[in-house]
Amino acid sequence: MGIATDLTIQEAAEETGLSAHTLRYYERIGLLEAIPRAAGGHRRYRADDLGWIGLLHCLRATGMPIREMQRFAALARGGEGTVPDRIALLQAHEDDVRARQRELERNLETIRGKIAYYRAAVGATGDDG
């Protein structure tokens, strides 16, 4: 993976693109298992933690509700026997993302049409540098 291990929360935040506040929140609500702590009590993130955080970031960025993310995390903690349920949850999320993609594409076409209409109305070519 190439990512340093045993990172502070600030380093993990920089590595994952999430804020330290979000990382603490994710731990508090059970999306992250308890992060190991150094002797001084500071969190120390490992490569596995960062990989999991990356998946959580992806799920959230694609619109998965926190409650569903919590369900997924609980299933993951449940071991291999929960793989079919995890697949079903991720498949349902993929279906939702694809539906939103189709809706966005329709909306984008409307916007493009309106841009073309306005450009035609003012005689602009769109090449105004």
SS3 of 5-73: the string is: CCECHHHHHHHHCCCHHHHHHHHHCCCCCCCCECCCCCECECHHHHHHHHHHHHHHHCCCCHHHHHHHH
The answer to whether residue 34 is domain-embedded is yes
Q: Tell me the whole-structure pTM to 2 decimals.
A: 0.81
128 part of a folded domain: no
Quote the number of domains for the chain: 1
| pLDDT tens, position by position, 2-26 | 555 789 999 999 999 999 999 999 9
CATH code (residue 39): 1.10.1660.10
Tell me what the mean pLDDT of segment 98-105 comes to: 98
